Amino acid sequence: MKLAELGCDDAEIQELDRNEPPSVLATTPMIDEPAQISSSGTEIREQNVAVEHAMSSPTPNTPSRCRRTSSGRDATKERVIASAEIQSMINATLPVGPSLTDVVRRVRMGLTPSLVLSPEAKEQAQSKTPAQNRDSEPEADVSILASLPSHVVHTLVKKYMQRMLPVHPFLYEPTIWEQLDRVLLKIPRPEGGRSCPQTVGLDYDFLVIYLILSVSTTLGSAKVGHGARCMAFSEALFKEGIRHLSQNAAYPSDMAWIQVTLLILQYASINPKLGNVWILSGFAMRNCLELGLHREVSESMGLDPLTIDLRRRIFWAAYCMDRSICAALQRPLSIPDPAIDTSVMSVLEDRCITSRGLDHRGQATKKLAIRWIEYRRVQSTIIEVHFQGRLLEPQQTWQEWLAATERRLWEWYQSDLPHDGWTEFALMHGLVMLHRPSSRVPLPSSTSMSTAFEAACSSAKSCRGQILSGYFPRPWLAAHHTFETALVVLFCLRHNFEAIALQFSPNEIFDMTKLFTSNLLTISSQGWTEVSEYAAIYERLLGPLLHAIFTRSRSVSTAYTPEQEEELARLLYPSPAHPQELRFADVNGLRVTEDLFSFDAGVFNWEDDLLANDADSVPLLVF
């Protein structure tokens, strides 16, 4: 279609030609910087304010020249813009969703909008229907959720409450059950054999329940041998539910927004394909700091006991996730520990914590959460001292600090709470971080390197059990921690082989070092195929060391070329030189068939304690 034939002069044609469509949002979950909205894209959006009902206000960075209304336009341009052909072109370039800023907000949060569109949304995006025909009250499909029997939904939510909430208690259990009741009432149900539309309005309650179900359906799936099917069904639930993450859905409070972010972060650690763990963690911590959750509230604020406890719970949950992710990526902590003075939350069960006060006759169900906070505090100290220049105590030597910190780690591990594979892994990983080389100590003592080597190999053994049959799958953390500890093993072999050889034979060293490769390849085979790049890097650097060990043709300390020495140094220390950010792909590169998205009760891990109201069941320990 020629614009000149519609009555546009040359100047108007040139102006319209300059208006490029908005830049395509990246589909990779690893987006390091917030996406920027082009001014031309915003102008196109705002030129259609009269017909685009779901449009939101301009972003703060939008130039003032873009904030024009239709009143200043001539009639010819109005006719051109209102024509079906132009509307179809504009509709094809606009992101699907309630507003442009809503989609950009998802990218800033670390979500991947191109991966979370429902089939109906995709069909709408490809439709040639002009923008003004869209419904002003967006709705979301709930067909997958509606396919689940109500008692199954109850059981999955209860599974989350019993297994996840005691460790990450950033949600309030009575509120969750109230939300679930409201959700079940709103799900469209066919009556009298007649079908009905399987859609509901955008709703915060639905978003929370969907996210809980997405996490819960993966718990224990590896034990029953249906990990792939459970993950596919979980992903389908997440994609359907994330449509409720919208400006059109009202949030009860700012803290509720952080709770949703932490839920998404929890799921992203299970399925990194659908979220950038680093961005989500930073987003949650920034919101906590903006609300002052890291500071203890004064009595003058007049907050009730439940609100005060929730503030503490949300902050410490975000804190623990931030510490684990920063440690995995070797990036600066979001907030130093000395800047935090808020108390830890109450250990009482949620029914004993109300706005009226605390009933101390209840059971203590959050001891595990307190335990993990203690571990993260030790981990924070190690990171700050090794990589952020934190000073030691006055008159304290480096060896004294090492001994005191290692004692704290062992005291934490030897507490009277239950242990599982992740607890042992956390201890060993803490010892590796403590004794590893760093910017502060580029060449640790022989004793430290021997300790780091043995702890790293022990952590790989613990991690393997969790990768193969762990209750809570966390491939993102497992992959990054495995690669980090593998690099420390290479460094210790390169600089401390003589001492290590006094403890382990060449065959033992071979088996211990090859376990890291096995772990990385196992994670890769479970769907994160790019992890094999890490395995290839590790094997390339391990080969010369093993060759020197077995052939004795040269000293292990001289096995590397200068280029290999430089590569290992770059990988060991925080820098932009790390390998390309990993992405989560479909298992074996195959398309996930539709039957994997359907509900099948036989693939889930239904445990007796989840179905019998067993209040004393041991919850999950997670790292």
Q: What's the token pair of residue 485?
A: 């500890």
From 340, 375, 391, give the residue that closes a domain.
Answer: 391
pLDDT for the residue 59 = 37
- CA-to-CA dists, residue 609 to 152, 158, 212, 616, 619, angstroms: 15, 10, 19, 9, 10
Lowest mean pLDDT among 77-86, 87-96, 205-214, 526-535: 87-96
For residue 287, what are the contacts with CB-CB under 8 A and spacing of at least 6?
254, 257, 258, 261
Same domain as 94, residue 163: no
Query: In this predicted model, what pLDDT tens digit does every residue of 327-337 receive, in sequence order?
Result: 988 888 999 99
What mean pLDDT value characterizes the chain?
Answer: 78
Same domain as 554, residue 512: yes
Tell me which H or E stretch contains 358. strand 357-358
pLDDT for the residue 79 = 77
From 352, 374, 391, give the residue that closes a domain.
Answer: 391
Same domain as 384, residue 462: no
Same domain as 240, residue 155: yes
Same domain as 565, residue 423: yes
Is 130 among the domain residues? yes
Lowest mean pLDDT among 10-19, 281-290, 501-510, 529-538: 10-19
Is 244 among the domain residues? yes
Is 34 among the domain residues? yes
Q: What's the token pair of residue 238?
A: 């997440």
Closest CA to 64 of 35, 39, 38: 39
DSSP 159-172: HHHHHTTTTS--S-
As a whole number of angstroms, the distance between CA 309 and CA 303 comes to 10
Same domain as 173, residue 80: no
Residue 116 predicted with pLDDT over 50 = no
Enumerate the β-bridge partners of residue 358: 353
How many percent of the chain have pLDDT more than 90?
A: 53
- CA-to-CA dists, residue 601 to 43, 162, 470, angstroms: 50, 20, 20
Q: How many CA atoms lie within 13 A of 532 on its CB side?
A: 10
Same domain as 464, residue 402: yes
Cβ atoms within 10 Å, residue 352: 16
- Rounded to two decimals, the pTM is 0.75
The answer to whether 351 and 330 are in contact (CB under 8 A) is: no
Same domain as 337, residue 224: yes
As a whole number of angstroms, the distance between CA 44 and CA 41 comes to 5
Same domain as 367, residue 309: yes
Query: In this predicted model, what pLDDT tens digit does every residue of 493-548 receive, in sequence order?
Result: 999 999 999 999 999 999 999 999 999 999 888 777 888 999 999 999 999 999 99
Q: What's the token pair of residue 401?
A: 């600090």
Is 303 among the domain residues? yes
As a whole number of angstroms, the distance between CA 159 and CA 180 comes to 14
Same domain as 151, residue 96: no
Residue span of the structural domain in which 516 resides:
396-583
Query: In this predicted model, what pLDDT tens digit does every residue of 559-584 receive, in sequence order?
Result: 999 999 999 999 998 654 444 444 44
Query: In this predicted model, what pLDDT tens digit does every residue of 341-364 receive, in sequence order?
Result: 999 999 999 999 999 999 999 899
Is 96 among the domain residues? yes
Same domain as 437, residue 329: no
Is 611 among the domain residues? no
Enumerate the β-bridge partners of residue 139: 201
Is 114 among the domain residues? no
How many domains is the chain built from?
A: 3
Same domain as 179, residue 310: yes
From 359, 391, 423, give the residue that closes a domain.
Answer: 391
Is 559 among the domain residues? yes
